Structure 1
Amino acid sequence: MPQHPFSKRSVAFRAASAADRNTREVRLQRASLELNNGQHDSIRQAAAANNVPEASLRHRRQGRQPKVRAQNNQQRLTPTEESGLLEFIRHRACSGFALTLVLLREHANNVIHSNPARCQAPDVTHMWLQAFLLQHPTIWSHWSWCLDNARLSGATETIIQQWFNRLAEIMREYNVASTNVYNMDETGFMFGQAGSEQIIVPSGEPAARYKAQPGTHELATIIECIGSGGQVLSPLIITKGQVHTVGEQRQMEGVPGSWRFAKTDNGWTSHALGLKWLETIFEPETRPSTPSTWRLLIINGHKSHTSKPFLDLCWNRNIIPFLLPAHATHVMQPLDVSIFGPLLASIKCLISDAATHVSDVDKPMFVTMYAQA
């Protein structure tokens, strides 16, 4: 459903109006040039020959600028800034993060206030937003479609095929090499959680069916990333606490020095850690030799990698964030489908083996097991 007042009909009208203004300006310039060359005896004759209003041609000869050009100095954004804003809108839309009207205004205000000379300038208004959309017929506003889970099945053949078609289109548009496609995801592991196994117990002893598990119910979150060219990036391991200590690091065995660690109050990831992962792991470890080369990062809708700072940094570093379809990650997320399942099973086996001689799986031991798995 189109959002008033920018319907499909109004979009077509805006495009036609913009095209007409451009062609009229060309005719005015041609008429003025022909007068300068002596091809016409009067302004009226030149105007008639080029199908432009005599008054417009007369004003142009007197030095009056076109309305669009004359208003440039009064516009809130410079032409360069407007071009950048249009590119930003296109970037966000093509990767699945289309801007709302509120976010568009917010971004425009950020652009204005980033200029020291305009840091105290008032924010753009809704009227500015309407005018901006009218001036640029290549973009338009419409209502997004929201479907509840009962109606939306993200794993349908049609949705999956559309997603792959869009992926191929984006890769062609930005000339993304097949070896520059990556997938990142995070998953949670619980310290000391062993897997279920088939065991032999005395008959008539229900309590013997339960197996002791070492450790606590403390959670660790791990961010991993793999590449279509066989790349495996350093993980970011997030545990509960304040600071990752040297003492903990020394107790870990067989852990590569490139692995990164972080602490949060609950062991979960956050906006800040998602951005830290992008800045300190993904960007430097996948940086191409040619700065203009584009990379594509497939992500799900987790809030830690759909925040504005995360997405802005992606585009600033020639990284295309590409969103997986909603409710389809269980069949389409490469890490989810092929890596995390077997990895979790392997860790549970190691924990089960350790249960016979340790009573507690702490953080250093868990990370050691993760490295072994």
Structure 2
Amino acid sequence: MAQREAQIALALAAIRIGEAKSIRAAQRAYAVPESTLRARLAGTTNRRTAHQYRKRLSVRQVVDWILEQDTQGFTPSHARTREMATRILRMNVVGRPIEAARINGTHPEAIQEFYLLYEDIVRRFNIQPCNTWNMDEHWTAVGVCTNSYVLASSSQRRSYVKSPESREWVSIIEIVSPAGGFARPLVIFKDTAPQTTHFPTDTPDWLYTTSENGWTTNSKGISWLYDIFIIPETQPKDGQWRLLIMDGHGSHTSTEFLWICKQNKVHLLFLPANTSHVLQPLDLGVSAPLKSRYRSQTVALASLDDALPIKKQRFVTCYNLALKKTFTPRLLRTGWQAAGLYPFNPSKGPNSSQVQAPKPRQSMPPPHQEINPIFTTPTSSRYIQQATKSIRKKAGEKQALYQALHKAGHAINSLDASHIALAHRNTQLQAQLDTIVTKKRRKVQVNPNTQFGNIDNITMARQAQALLEEKEASKQVKYDAMAAARELEEQSFEALQFEWQMDDF
């Protein structure tokens, strides 16, 4: 690898200083692929250097952890292995993974505009922190998928893991305030209607509903407004305005949803697309700790209860325990502070490590390669003239050769003009022929006792039409041959020959 990189470096240096006249010349001289040289000249680096920042993870640590889990009967899946590897990377001060759409779609200009709009709304409507809310819907898996591969020791053929059975998604709508307050969540199960078996004995005081796929809908969003957010117990005193910050999900942007909020003095502020990881307090404060604690509860429950399935009833129990540990005033305020909304700090979002401004790619253009017109096949008189000038510069004044090439250029121009005229004439004649000659069609014979033609009638008509087309095609070949013969008779013998004669010089 080191020797190959040294050869590439020498080839690039030869191109830059002009020692190699072209990329292909450098490729032949240093035995380096041409595609590699072009990529390096365009600004790319080798694969090892490009991925060096990711190699802070000790493979030995991950392998030891997999073997330890295997001996304990908790053979890890790929998802759990990735989670452990991510924790090791965090320990080594490596950033956590993030979706490419979030990075590419997060623009500092949109974030700054959001801060300006937020500041203007709070100032104009005199909205207090206790009347500012952030609402978000997130999805949580009830169980763990059973059809997943796991990682274990290579010395044994099969490994078994205690699993909380099949996975089922549940939607939860949460709402928090910078003053440390929060309202009860809305849980949406995947079912036709809530069942008594969904809930444990000590069911928490939440709101529960169902939908066909476990996701929210427009009607669910409106019901959430009436049953949670704008109930009389939560209305502010003295008719003050409230601010509700949320993403642009379709259930939040329906006309009825907007109208209900306007009637109840609720000002809506939507987050820009792909910025919830930077501007949404719920994501920055309690979302990650809540999901982590919920997963810990499900894993502990599976180990104690011998892999009993995590159904809706057990989900409510596990999620309730995780919610009580996570929704604390300190964590709730942390999310608003990290988003730069309370206390107001508009530099938080644009300066976040998860916001990357697009960097222009600096590419070095490949060296200019001059093409000698002498060694190219002339396609017009312009190339003949270029070759003539090049020969005169190198061979001196040879008037006879110059005149011969000059006349050859004129001859090519004349032939090109006649060729274009013939092609245009052929196109016109073909268009006229197409308008005169029409293909014969075969009528589908239908039995008068029936109203519609069947497949047998249509097949017979298609066969008859194919025979007619074959006869016409055989006649057309004869016509084309006769037309070509007449065209050759009209041309002179001199027009059909072209001679080149060049003396040594």
In structure 1, stretches of 5+ residues that fail to align are: 1-148
Tell me the equivalent position of 2:242.
Answer: 295
Tell me the equivalent position of 1:234.
Answer: 184
Tell me the equivalent position of 1:359.
Answer: 308
Asked if the contact 2:101–2:274 (Cα under 8 Å) also holds between the matched residues in 1, the reply is no
Tell me the equivalent position of 1:261.
Answer: 208
Tell me the equivalent position of 1:318.
Answer: 265
Q: Any runs of at least 4 consecutive aligned residues in structure 1 with deviations exceeding 4 A, and if so which?
A: 149-154, 199-203
1:151–1:256: structure 2 CA closer, same or farther, 3 Å change rule?
closer
Matching of residue 213 in structure 1 with residue 163 in structure 2 = yes
Matching of residue 304 in structure 1 with residue 251 in structure 2 = yes
The offset of 1:302, in angstroms, is: 0.6
CA distance in 2, matches of 1:184, 1:206: 48
Tell me the equivalent position of 1:28.
Answer: none
CA distance in 1, matches of 2:152, 2:218: 48
CA distance in 2, matches of 1:200, 1:187: 29
Tell me the equivalent position of 2:142.
Answer: 191
Asked if the contact 1:275–1:310 (Cα under 8 Å) also holds between the matched residues in 2, the reply is yes
Matching of residue 271 in structure 1 with residue 221 in structure 2 = no
- Whichever residue aligns with residue 175 of structure 2, its letter is C
Higher relative contact order (CA 8 A, sep 6+): 1
Asked if the contact 1:237–1:262 (Cα under 8 Å) also holds between the matched residues in 2, the reply is yes
Matching of residue 161 in structure 1 with residue 112 in structure 2 = yes
1:246–1:162: structure 2 CA closer, same or farther, 3 Å change rule?
same
The offset of 1:178, in angstroms, is: 2.2
- Whichever residue aligns with residue 370 of structure 1, its letter is Y
The offset of 1:248, in angstroms, is: 3.2
TM-score, normalised relative to structure 2:
0.40
1:301-352 deviation line (CA, Å, top 9, x unaligned): 1111111111110111000110101111122111122222211111111111
TM-score, normalised relative to structure 1:
0.54
Asked if the contact 1:252–1:364 (Cα under 8 Å) also holds between the matched residues in 2, the reply is no
CA distance in 2, matches of 1:308, 1:371: 34
Tell me the equivalent position of 2:318.
Answer: 369
CA distance in 1, matches of 2:189, 2:102: 37
CA distance in 1, matches of 2:227, 2:243: 17
% identity of equivalent residues? 33
More helix by share: 2
Matching of residue 222 in structure 1 with residue 172 in structure 2 = yes
CA distance in 1, matches of 2:102, 2:224: 35
- Whichever residue aligns with residue 333 of structure 1, its letter is Q
CA distance in 2, matches of 1:327, 1:189: 20
The offset of 1:193, in angstroms, is: 2.8
1:284-305 deviation line (CA, Å, top 9, x unaligned): 2531122x21000001011111
CA distance in 2, matches of 1:333, 1:221: 18
1:155–1:352: structure 2 CA closer, same or farther, 3 Å change rule?
same
1:153–1:204: structure 2 CA closer, same or farther, 3 Å change rule?
same
1:183–1:206: structure 2 CA closer, same or farther, 3 Å change rule?
farther
Asked if the contact 1:190–1:219 (Cα under 8 Å) also holds between the matched residues in 2, the reply is yes
CA distance in 2, matches of 1:175, 1:231: 19
1:252-271 deviation line (CA, Å, top 9, x unaligned): 53x432x1000111111100
Aligned equivalent of 1:173, options 124, 128, 134:
124
- Whichever residue aligns with residue 328 of structure 1, its letter is T
Asked if the contact 2:197–2:313 (Cα under 8 Å) also holds between the matched residues in 1, the reply is no
The offset of 1:280, in angstroms, is: 0.5
Asked if the contact 2:102–2:275 (Cα under 8 Å) also holds between the matched residues in 1, the reply is no
Asked if the contact 1:187–1:221 (Cα under 8 Å) also holds between the matched residues in 2, the reply is yes
Asked if the contact 1:252–1:368 (Cα under 8 Å) also holds between the matched residues in 2, the reply is no
CA distance in 1, matches of 2:101, 2:317: 42
Asked if the contact 1:181–1:295 (Cα under 8 Å) also holds between the matched residues in 2, the reply is yes
- Whichever residue aligns with residue 174 of structure 1, its letter is F
Asked if the contact 1:191–1:215 (Cα under 8 Å) also holds between the matched residues in 2, the reply is no
Asked if the contact 2:129–2:177 (Cα under 8 Å) also holds between the matched residues in 1, the reply is no
Tell me the equivalent position of 1:10.
Answer: none
Asked if the contact 1:224–1:235 (Cα under 8 Å) also holds between the matched residues in 2, the reply is yes
1:190–1:206: structure 2 CA closer, same or farther, 3 Å change rule?
farther
Tell me the equivalent position of 1:339.
Answer: 286
The offset of 1:185, in angstroms, is: 0.5
1:159-186 deviation line (CA, Å, top 9, x unaligned): 2222111101011111111221100010
1:242–1:341: structure 2 CA closer, same or farther, 3 Å change rule?
same
Larger Rg computed on CA atoms? 2
The offset of 1:203, in angstroms, is: 4.9
Tell me the equivalent position of 1:286.
Answer: 234
CA distance in 1, matches of 2:114, 2:267: 15
Partner of 1:185, secondary structure, is: strand
In structure 2, stretches of 5+ residues that fail to align are: 1-99, 323-505
RMSD across aligned C-alpha pairs, in angstroms?
2.5
Partner of 1:355, secondary structure, is: helix
CA distance in 2, matches of 1:337, 1:302: 19
Aligned equivalent of 1:244, options 189, 194, 198:
194
- Whichever residue aligns with residue 289 of structure 1, its letter is K
1:32-60 deviation line (CA, Å, top 9, x unaligned): xxxxxxxxxxxxxxxxxxxxxxxxxxxxx
